[in-house]
Amino acid sequence: MIKTTLSILGLSLVSTLALAADPLNGTKWKTIDDKTKQPLSVVQFTETSNGVLSAKIVDVFTPGEAQKCSKCVGKYQNKPLLGAQIIHGLKNTGKNTYDGGKITDPKNGKTYSFNAKMSNDGRTLNGRGYIGVSALGRSQTWIRVN
């Protein structure tokens, strides 16, 4: 009886650890423009039941752009940026590294392939958007918001 109980507890612990949320799940990040170095927005990551991450804009620093993005083109033109999902399909590939995602730049309406790496201390997220080859893309470093 004790052996069975310990086996069940052990399996429960392993199952719980396997289902633990991704380190990015629920975190918020201040996005920083790679050209101007100015903060643009805050995005928040969420994880689906199959472990895929997405992120939406939860705060916008440019006055007036939260409710109506006049500088945006494509599907975001004159639409609210607040609540817009800009990242989807991102998967944890181990060692704080993420790949397989897509990111949409509201300013130009284009969607790019996206990968990211979180620093060991969890304070920065280095993301790279690209078309085709990662070496031809753009990088941004985002800062974690507590």
H-helix or E-strand spanning residue 44: strand 39-47
pLDDT at residue 62, rounded to an integer:
85
What is the distance between the alpha carbons of residues 111 and 87, in angstroms, rounded to a whole number?
9
pLDDT at residue 28, rounded to an integer:
98
> Residue 21 has what DSSP assignment?
P
Single-letter amino acid code for the residue at 109: G
Q: Are strands 97-105 and 110-118 parallel, antiparallel or unpaired?
A: antiparallel
pLDDT at residue 20, rounded to an integer:
62
Architecture of domain 22-145: Beta Barrel (2.40)
Show Cβ contacts of residue 94 under 8 Å, excluding neighbours closer than 6 positions.
none
What is the distance between the alpha carbons of residues 104 and 6, in angstroms, rounded to a whole number?
49
Whether the Cβ atoms of residue 36 and residue 49 lie closer than 8 Å to each other:
no
This model's pTM is above 0.85: no
pLDDT at residue 41, rounded to an integer:
95
pLDDT at residue 146, rounded to an integer:
83
Show Cβ contacts of residue 104 under 8 Å, excluding neighbours closer than 6 positions.
76, 86, 87, 110, 111, 112
> What is the number of H-type helices and E-type strands within the chain?
1, 8
Question: What residues does 41 pair with on adjacent strands?
Answer: 31, 60
What is the distance between the alpha carbons of residues 60 and 69, in angstroms, rounded to a whole number?
10
Q: Note down pLDDT in tens along the chain; length 146 residues.
A: 565 544 454 444 443 344 568 999 999 999 998 889 999 999 999 999 999 999 999 999 988 778 888 777 777 888 888 999 999 999 999 999 999 999 998 888 889 999 999 999 999 999 999 998 888 899 999 999 98
Single-letter amino acid code for the residue at 42: V
Single-letter amino acid code for the residue at 22: D
